[in-house]
Amino acid sequence: MRNKQTDGISVQQIAELIGAEIIGDASIAIASFASLDTAKPGCIAYLNEKAYARFLADTSASAVILGREYAAQCPVTALVVDDPYVAYARVAQQLHPPAPLVAGIHSSAAVSAGAEISATAQVDALAVIEEGVKVGDECYIGPGCILKHGCRIGGRTRLSGGVMVAGMCVIGERCVLQPGVVIGADGFGYANDKGEWLRIPQTGRVVIGDDVEIGANTCIDRGAVKDTVIGNGVIIDNLVQIGHNCIIGEHTAIAGNAGLSGSSIVGKHCMLAGGVGLAGHLELCDGVTVTGMSMVTSSITKPGVYASGLSAQDGREWRKNHARLRNLDKTIRELKAEIRTMQEKFHKL
């Protein structure tokens, strides 16, 4: 569902919401957010990074959320806070709430008589809801969603268009699943029988906690035997693959194109940047950050920042370094041999 824009709130109300100090006119009405360089009167902007400070002097915003270090430079009403980005998030939620539900089931939806749909839920066009499904209060089931037998959707959860939730999977309360998400497809489980692949039925579920957000076209596989589990407050970006039997701890963030092999365990409050890959059957403790394009091949038992991806560099320099890299083993062997020869000569003296 699209976010609905409010009719506006005053700077005073915004300040009370985020605990800000006001420098300027507290009565100004604010209708929406915009960036510093594109804002018009009636908009509020925020400044969180030094790189954008150059836009502050010429902004046409009616008010700006910023840190104290920029307050004296602000040409319009300033709302001074400790963390402008967090304040921005809170105000944006207030100014752009989700569109209100229209309770009921669309005439083109196919809903089993054995499904339990809350009277306060909205089920949109062409949704398919099978036997034994339970949809909680104030849920939104978008167009073309498929809820297979026995799955459960917690109250106030929103499934955008084209979401598929496989049989017996569980989604908690206040979750958001963006278009194309697939929950509970079969995990990648096969045994090799003398060169031929023997499919292993995947009989576990996916169990998702409360307040989880999952980006477009992300896939979370059902467990082979045990459940795949996503903890409360986890946020997952677009195009992420989470394999069978994975466990993701509470409030962990996973960015786009990350891939978690089967039976990976990720602790609480971890951050996996874009393109990170986890080999299977390993564990990350709480508080681990893995930088973009890194490959994790063994368990991490100490909180901290880990990296293995190579940063981009000048193409000619990369080609020269790569050519030397191919000869690295030979060079090291020759160097070791030369050192041994020098040591032998030294001992003869």
Query: Active-site residue numbers?
Result: 244
Partner residues linked to 79 by β-bridges: 22, 65
Q: Are 75 and 56 in contact (CB under 8 A)?
A: yes
What's the rounded Cα separation, in Å, for the pair 77 and 24? 4
- Structure tokens belonging to residue 306: 């880990």
